[in-house]
Structure 1
Amino acid sequence: MSYCINPLCGCRQNPDNVETCLACGTPLLINNRIRLIEPLRPLTDDPQSYFEVFEVEDFGTQLNPVHKRRVMKVLKWNSSKLRDLIEKESITLRRIRHQNIPKSNIDDFFSFAPNNSPLELRCLVMDKIEGQNLDEWSKSNERISQSLALQWLQQLVKILDVVHHTEFFHRDIKPSNIILRPDGQLVLIDFGAARRVTDTYLAKISGSGGTSTRVGNYEITSIVSPCYTPPEQMNGKAVPQSDFYTLGRTFVNLATGISLFDLPTDEKTGNLIWRDKAPQIDKPFADFLDELMATVPGQRPQSTEVILQRLENLPQQIKNYRLANSKIVKYSKLALRGLIIVGGIILSIPLLSNYLVTQGRKLEAANNSQGAQEAFDWAIKINPQLKPDVSEFYFEKGRGSTSNLDLAKKYYKLAIKYNNQNSKIYTNLAVVCQQLQQFECVIDNYGKAIELDPNNWQGHYGLGTFYDEQGKDDLAEKQYQLSIKTSSQAILPINNLSRLKIIKGDYNAAIALAQQGLQKAKEPELRAVLYKNLGWALFEQKEYSQAKKYLEKAKELDIHRTSTHCLLAQVQEALGDVDSAWISWEICLLTESREPEVFGWRSQVLERIRLKDPIRQREE
C-alpha cells in the first residue's frame, strides 16, 4: 500500500503497483525518491492539524545514497510562519549531532507540489527511531523506580546538554516526545518547537509586549503542551531553563504513573502535589524534581552542567538521607541529648564540646542540617572559642557546593552566623548571590567584605563585575581600579578594565592595560584573553595586521574563547581573507559564549547572512 501526499485528495490509499495516485494523479514517488508507506498520525481535514507524519521508503539521493525506512513530516498549509517553523526544525536537526537525536541532512528538506493542487507542501525527512514513546510505555508499565528515574534523567540531560551548547532549546519535552529504544537508550524527538538562543530572541522576550508571530488566531512561538508547558512559555517568553520545567514534569508523570491532569495542585503556589503518589522517590530526589519545576526560571538550575553535577551527587545524598532517617541515627540523637544533660558530670567541658562538634559534622554529612546546628550551638554555648572552627566548617561546605547555589548560600550564611568578621565569607556569599541574580544580597555582602578589609582586591573586583553586568560602566571602572590598586598581582581586574576601555573607545588605554597584564600573567587562559583585548583594540584602530597577530596568539593559547574567533573573523575580512573569515564566523556562531559583545557580533553577521552579503554568496 502507498499513500498519496496530497492532503486534498479524495482517496489517498493506492496499491503498490501504481506510479500515480488513482484519485488525483499525483506521483506516488516524491521527487523520484520518497514513497509514503503508512501515516503515523491519523489523516484528518481539521484545519488546526498543520502537519502530517508518514513512515516512508527513502531510496536515497546522490548526497546520501542509502535505501531505508525513514519518517517524513509534511506541512499541509501555505503559511509563512508555519514554513519558518518546519525550516527551523530542519536546521536544528542538521546542526545538532547526537546519537540520541534523529538525523536529517541538507537534502532531506524540500518542497513538493501535488498534481492539480494549489498547495506547495514542505517536507522534512529524518531517521526513524525504533522503539516506544514514554507516554505509550507508561500505559503498559508500572511507575518507574528511583534508580531508573535517575538513569533516564541523566540520559536526557546529557542530550539536552548538547542541544543547549549548540545554542538551541527544545520547548516541548514530554513523554510522547521521548522514545525508549530496544537497547534501553532514550531518544529526544520532535524539534518543531525548538528555538535558537540569540540576542535578538532574548531582547524580544525581555520586552513587555506580546509576540508578532501568529498564524490566524493560532500562536506559533508560544508552544503549549497542557500540564507540561512552563508559565513563561505560555506568555511567549521561553528560555533554556523552560526545558528543565518540562523535564521535571515528565518525570513526575513517570514516577507517579498518573496523568498530570489528575494530580492536585497547591492553591497558593500552583505546584503539583505528587510525592504521596510516588513513595519510591526519596526526599532529596523529590526536592530536586520540584526545583526543576519551579514557577520562576531563575529558581531552577541555570544550566545542564549544574544539573549533571547535581545528579552525580544525588545517590550519595539519598544514601545520607536514608541513614539520617534510620532507627540507628534516631537512637543516636536521643543518646546525644542524654549526654548533653549529664555531660557536666561525666565529661569535662572541652571533651564534651569537641564531641558535639564531631557529632555536628556527622549529622551534616548525613544531610541532617537541623540536628547539626543544634549540636554546634550546644558546643559553642559550652565553649565559645569553637566559633571559628564551626564557621570554617560551613565555609568549606559552601565552597564545595558550587553545583547547588542555594545550598552554597545557606552554608555561607551559617559560616557568617558563627564568624561575622571574615571578609572572605562575605565575598564568596556575594559571588553566589551574583550567580543567583539576587542583587541586593550582592551589594550588601561585597560592601561588608570591603568594609572589613579595604584591601580585599577580590571584593572590589567582584563588585566591579556586578556593575559591569548591569551596564554601569563608570561604577565598574572605579571598582576595577581599586582592585588593581590593592593588589599589584591581580590580573583579572586589569583585563576587565582593558575591555571596558575598548567599549568606551579609549583604545590606547586599553592597549596599555593589556600590555601591563601580559607582563604579570603566567596562565595561558589569562594571557589569551589579554592578547584578545590587545587585538580587539588594534582592530578598532584599523591596525589589522597587528590585530591579526595578537588574535592568532590568543587563539593558540585558548582556542575555546568565542570572542577571539568573532574578532579574528572581522580582521580576516578587513584583510580580504574571505575564506578564513567565514570559517572563523562559523566558530563564532556555533560555540558557547556568555560574553555580551559576542551576541552583538553574532547579530550583525546573521543579519548580513539574511541579506545575502558577499560572504554568504561565496558559501552558496
Structure 2
Amino acid sequence: MIYCINPLCEQRQNPDNVERCLCCGTSLLINDRIRLLKPLRELTENPFTRNEIFEVDDAGTKWNPVDKRRVMKVLKWSSPELVQLIERESLALQLIQHPNTPESNTLDDLFTFVPNNSHLTLHCLVMDKFEGQNLEEWIKSHEPISQSLALEWLRQLVEILDVVHRTEFFHRDIKPANIILQPNWQLALIDFGTARRITDTYLAKVSGSGGTETRIGNYEITSVVSHYYTPLEQVHGKAVPQSDFYALGRTFVRLVTGTPLMRLPTDQKTGNLIWRNKAQQIDKPLADFLDELMAPVPGQRPATTEVILQRLKILPRQSKVYRVTRSKTFISGVLIASASLITLGIYKIGLPAYAKNLVAEGQKLEAANNSQKAQSYFDQAVKIRPELSVQISQFYFDKAGRTKDDLNSEKKYYSLAIKYNPKDVDSYNNLAVACQLLQDIDCVTKAYEELFKLKPNIWEGHYNLGNFYETQNKYDLAEKQYRLAIQYSNNQATNAVNNLSRLKNLQGKYSEAAQLAIEGLNNTPDSYNQWRAALYKNLGWSRLMQKDYSEADKYLQKAFELDSQRVDVYCLLAKTKEALEQLDYASSYWEMCLLARTDREYLPEIQKWREEVLSRIFKKN
C-alpha cells in the first residue's frame, strides 16, 4: 500500500503498482525518489495538526545513493514561523553529528512539493529511521527499569545531549516518546522539530530583560509544551539548555516508576513530584540526583552536560552502601547472627524470630503471586505474634499503592490490609476510592459505612464520597459531603472548596461559585500553586459566564501562570479571548484546548467545550 502525500485527498491509500493517486491524481513518487509506505502518526483532518510523519522508501540521490527506509515529516501549514521551525530542524540534523541522532542533509532532504491541482505548498524533511520502539510504548509492557539500567541509559542520553549542546542546540522536547530503544539496546534521541540554536543573541533575549542565574527574564519566545515533561520557564517561552535536564529527569521518573506522570501526586507546597515510593529499587543518591535535574528553577539544576557526566561517574560508588545493606549476603548474615543468639540461649527469642520469618516468607510468596499460601503464612505469624498484623496490613497497603492501573488488584490488597488491621481508616478510604473507579456501588457503600463508624469526622472520606456522588450527577448529595469535608477540616480542605465552586458553575450558580472561590483563595497559602490555580480557574469561569470578560481574563491568566497543565484553563481562555475579540489569542488557546492530554481532559465540561468549537469548525467547512 502506498499513501498519497496530499493532506486534502479523500482517499489516500493506493495500490503499490500505481504511479498517481487514484483519488486526486497526485504523483505517488515524490521528487522522483520517495514513496510513502505508512503513516507513523495517525492521519487526521484536525485543522490544528501541523505536520504528518511517514515511513518512506527513499531510492536515494547522487549525494546519498543508498536505497533505504527513512522517515519524512510533511508540514501541512506554510506559515513563516512553522517553515522556520522545519528549516531549523534540518539545520540541527545536519550539524549534530552523533550515531544516535537522525541524519539528514540540506542538499536534497529538505524540499517543497505541490500536490496535483492544489494551492498547498508542502514543506518536507527526510531523515534516517531508527529501528526499535520508543520508550513510552516500551515501558507500558515492561517492569520499571533497575538502578543499573537507569544509570546506563542516563549516561547514554547525556552523552547524546552533550554533543547536541556542544553543537549549540538544545532539544526542548525530551520525553520517552522521543527516545528509541534500538535492537542493540542503545538509545537514540529523535524529533528535533522544536530544537533551538544556542546563540549569544538568544541567551541575551532570555536573560537580558531582568533575568538572573535563577530567574528568567520577561522576553517572550515561542513556547513548546509537552505536558508533565516541560519546565515552567519553557511553558512561558523562555527555555534554556538546562530545560533539557528537567525533561530528562522526568523521563527517568517515568521509567523507574513505570507510572504515567499524571498519576503521580505532587507536593502542594513545592510542586515537586512524589515518586520515590513507586521506585524502591532506586537508591537515595540517584533519587536525589533525579530530583536535582527536575529542580523548579534552572539555576538549581546542573549547569552543563559535562557536570552531569562527572556526577554519573560518582553515583555508583555512592550507592554501594545501600546495595550492600539490601543484598542477600547481608540479610543472610543477619539471619546467621540471629541463629547464633538462639544457640547461646537467649530467652524466648526463637519463637518471635520464627514468626517474623513467616512474614518474610509470606511476602516472597505474595510477590510470586501465590496469594493464598502467603496468607496462610501470615495467619500463622499473627497467631504467634498478634502485633505483626499491623506490619502485614501495611505490606498489603503498600502493595495496593504499587498496583498502578490494576484497580481490581488495588481493591484486593486494600481488602487484605483491612483483614489484618480492621481499624485502619486509610485502607477503608483507599478501598472506597478504588471501588468508585470500578463502579462497585456495594463496595463503595460498605467501605464508607465502616470508615465513618471508625472516624466520622475524617474530611478526606467526605471529600471522596462527594466526588463519587458528583460522578453520578447527584449534585445535592455531593454538595452535602463537600460541606462536611470543609467543616471537619476547619475550612482547610481546599480541594473540597474548589470542587464545590466548580459544582456551582456547572449548576449555573455563578455568584455562589465566585464567592466560594474567593473564600478558598483567602484560606489557601500562596505556596499551594495547583489549588490556587484551580480556584482562580473557577473564579474566571464564573466571571466569564457573568460577562465580566476583563475580570475573567485576569483570573484565568493567573490560573495559567500557577499551573500551565490545566486543559480547562486553555478552553476558558479561548472563550474569553473570543469575547474580547482577541481572535489570534483565541485560536492558539483553542488549539491547546483540543490537543492537550492530561488527566483533567475527561471532565464533562471540557468535553462539552471541545464539542462546541469542533461543531463550529466543521460547520464553517
Contact 1:532 1:554 survives alignment (8 Å): yes
Letter in structure 2 aligned against 1:360: V
Q: Which structure has the greater CA radius of gyration? A: 1
2:512 aligned to which of 509, 513, 535? 509
Contact 1:70 1:125 survives alignment (8 Å): no
- Counterpart CA distance in 1 for 2:27 and 2:400 is 65
Letter in structure 1 aligned against 2:435: C
- Counterpart CA distance in 2 for 1:54 and 1:575 is 49
Q: Does 1:450 align with 2:452?
A: yes
Residue 518 of structure 1 corresponds to: 521
CA 1:611/1:185 → structure 2, altered by over 3 Å: closer, same or farther?
farther
Any idea what the Cα deviations from partners look like across 1:346-391, whole Å, max 9, x if unmatched? Answer: 8866762355236524752683565654443223212334433433
Q: CA deviation at 1:498?
A: 0.9
- Counterpart CA distance in 2 for 1:27 and 1:378 is 76
CA 1:102/1:533 → structure 2, altered by over 3 Å: closer, same or farther?
farther
Residue 547 of structure 1 corresponds to: 552
2:385 aligned to which of 370, 383, 386? 383
CA 1:377/1:459 → structure 2, altered by over 3 Å: closer, same or farther?
same
CA 1:402/1:8 → structure 2, altered by over 3 Å: closer, same or farther?
closer
1:442 match: secondary structure: helix
- Counterpart CA distance in 2 for 1:511 and 1:599 is 22
Matched residue count: 414
1:172-571 aligned within 5 A: 180=182, 184-185=186-187, 352-353=351-352, 355-357=354-356, 360-361=359-360, 364=363, 367=367, 373-399=375-401, 405=407, 407-436=409-438, 438-488=440-490, 489-522=492-525, 523-571=528-576
Contact 1:548 1:572 survives alignment (8 Å): yes
CA 1:504/1:132 → structure 2, altered by over 3 Å: closer, same or farther?
closer
- Counterpart CA distance in 1 for 2:113 and 2:436 is 44
Contact 1:434 1:442 survives alignment (8 Å): yes
2:564 match: secondary structure: coil
Letter in structure 2 aligned against 1:573: E
Q: CA deviation at 1:504?
A: 0.6
Q: Does 1:604 align with 2:609?
A: no
1:560 match: secondary structure: coil
- Counterpart CA distance in 2 for 1:591 and 1:314 is 31
Structure 2 residue ranges without an equivalent (≥5) = 6-13, 39-53, 77-84, 94-100, 134-144, 158-172, 192-257, 265-274, 283-325
CA 1:350/1:527 → structure 2, altered by over 3 Å: closer, same or farther?
farther
Contact 1:354 1:379 survives alignment (8 Å): no
Letter in structure 2 aligned against 1:55: D
Q: CA deviation at 1:530?
A: 0.9
CA 1:359/1:529 → structure 2, altered by over 3 Å: closer, same or farther?
same
Contact 1:36 1:57 survives alignment (8 Å): no
Contact 2:130 2:188 survives alignment (8 Å): no
Contact 2:55 2:69 survives alignment (8 Å): no
Any idea what the Cα deviations from partners look like across 1:180-216, whole Å, max 9, x if unmatched? Answer: 4889346999xxxxxxxxxxxxxxxxxxxxxxxxxxx
Any idea what the Cα deviations from partners look like across 1:73-127, whole Å, max 9, x if unmatched? Answer: 99xxxxxxxxx9xxxxxxxx99xx9999999x998775236xxxxx999999563
Contact 1:69 1:128 survives alignment (8 Å): no
Q: CA deviation at 1:466?
A: 1.8
Residue 115 of structure 2 corresponds to: 111
Contact 1:357 1:375 survives alignment (8 Å): no
Structure 1 residue ranges without an equivalent (≥5) = 14-25, 43-50, 60-67, 75-83, 85-92, 114-118, 135-145, 159-165, 171-177, 190-300, 317-323, 614-620
Residue 252 of structure 2 corresponds to: none
- Counterpart CA distance in 1 for 2:277 and 2:493 is 35
Contact 1:535 1:549 survives alignment (8 Å): yes
Q: CA deviation at 1:431?
A: 2.2
Q: CA deviation at 1:443?
A: 3.5
2:31 match: secondary structure: strand
1:505 match: secondary structure: coil
Letter in structure 2 aligned against 1:487: S
Letter in structure 2 aligned against 1:513: L
- Counterpart CA distance in 2 for 1:71 and 1:571 is 44
CA 1:433/1:572 → structure 2, altered by over 3 Å: closer, same or farther?
same
Q: CA deviation at 1:306?
A: 6.9
Contact 2:72 2:127 survives alignment (8 Å): no
- Counterpart CA distance in 2 for 1:491 and 1:590 is 29
Q: CA deviation at 1:549?
A: 2.0
Residue 32 of structure 2 corresponds to: 36
CA 1:101/1:313 → structure 2, altered by over 3 Å: closer, same or farther?
farther
CA 1:41/1:520 → structure 2, altered by over 3 Å: closer, same or farther?
closer
- Counterpart CA distance in 1 for 2:577 and 2:388 is 62
2:128 match: secondary structure: coil
CA 1:101/1:607 → structure 2, altered by over 3 Å: closer, same or farther?
farther
Q: CA deviation at 1:527?
A: 1.4
1:111 match: secondary structure: coil
Contact 1:28 1:35 survives alignment (8 Å): no
Q: CA deviation at 1:440?
A: 4.1
Contact 1:569 1:580 survives alignment (8 Å): yes
Contact 1:357 1:376 survives alignment (8 Å): no
- Counterpart CA distance in 2 for 1:12 and 1:549 is 56
- Counterpart CA distance in 1 for 2:122 and 2:617 is 24
Contact 1:56 1:69 survives alignment (8 Å): yes
Contact 1:181 1:187 survives alignment (8 Å): no
Letter in structure 2 aligned against 1:486: Y
- Counterpart CA distance in 2 for 1:502 and 1:379 is 54
1:578 aligned to which of 567, 583, 598? 583
Q: CA deviation at 1:534?
A: 1.0
